A and B are shown apart, each in its own frame.
Chain A
Amino acid sequence: MRYAEWCIAAPTLEADIAAAAMGLDDIGHSRVLYGSLRELGTADAGTDESPSYANVPFLDRPWTDWSEFVAGNAVLDSAFTLMMESLANGNVDVLRTRLKKMLQEERYHTLHGRSWMQEVKAGAALTRAWRESLEWIGPENSDVDELHREGRLAHGVRDLRRLLEERLDGHAPPSGLEWHGWEPIRRRIQPGGIDQATLEMLQGLAEKRYMPASG
């Protein structure tokens, strides 16, 4: 969603198109991932009577500067991709095949993010995105490590942190992570959530306003 908001605002026409394409990719990836929850022993999305929306704080508000796009693309997207790779290399057979196309597409997200990271001084946004990526991966000995022990994930928390650092070569990870207040479902520490306008768009409520009244 945040990618799509930049499809007419990026610094170059090519980056506009890439933002739109990556946004579309990630909508497709979300559909595949929600549909894969059952394979991991979790109830299907949308069956909960009180549905909630979970996202990392970096996505709570629209990005106001291109450096935020770059940081989200280079760091958070890489963290998400690493987790998908870890699932694809785990022992859940159906995910191996289902995630293959997704990982092919994510390769280009990584190329885009890493290259722009060389062009833009994303400083504070980069540190924030990295910190939130580590929060999203979670603390040691939590669900991620449990899934790793069961073989469903190819990597545990320590491996994922190391791989993320390798993928962001030359950049030091943030230190002093404090887990007090970490929410295991939303995988974040910072309170708050996505802005209402974006939530309504994601839920399809924004479009419904334009539907003809029935009856």
Chain B
Amino acid sequence: MGYTRVHAEVHEYDVFARKTRVEPLHQVGSVVAPDDDLAMAYARATYDEERWVEMMIVPKAAIISLWAPGGDS
């Protein structure tokens, strides 16, 4: 997904994190940025309120949805 805001083009990234090694990663939010570097900086700044053992970001465009609320199936 790309759309215009302050930057010429920005992308949406989902942010995933977990607090312990034994728990699965779960989505904690999302950020909007023009590139991966700034998305990493924004994700760290925005969602750093917990002591995460792992955090990662995924470009929303890379996610393949099988079904979603409001869909036909």
Contact = CB atoms under 8 A, between A and B. Distances in A.
B31 interface: yes
A119 B41 CA distance: 15
B38 A116 contact: yes
B54 interface: no
Place the interface of chain B in its size category: 10 to 19
Interface string B3-43: 00111000000000000000000000001111101101110
A25 to B, nearest CB: 9
A202 interface: no
B53 interface: no
A115 interface: yes
B45 interface: yes
A204 B34 CA distance: 38
Contact of A108 (B7, B34, B35, B41): B41
A41 to B, nearest CB: 34
B44 A108 contact: yes
Contacts of A118: 35
A4 to B, nearest CB: 13
A12 B5 contact: yes
Nearest to A73: B41
A114 B41 CA distance: 11
Given A11-B6, A12-B5, A111 B32 contact: no
Contacts of B5: 12
Given A14-B31, A14-B32, A22-B45, A112 B38 contact: yes
Interface of A: 11-12, 14-15, 17-18, 20-22, 108-109, 111-112, 114-116, 118-119
Interface of B: 5-7, 31-35, 37-38, 40-42, 44-46, 48
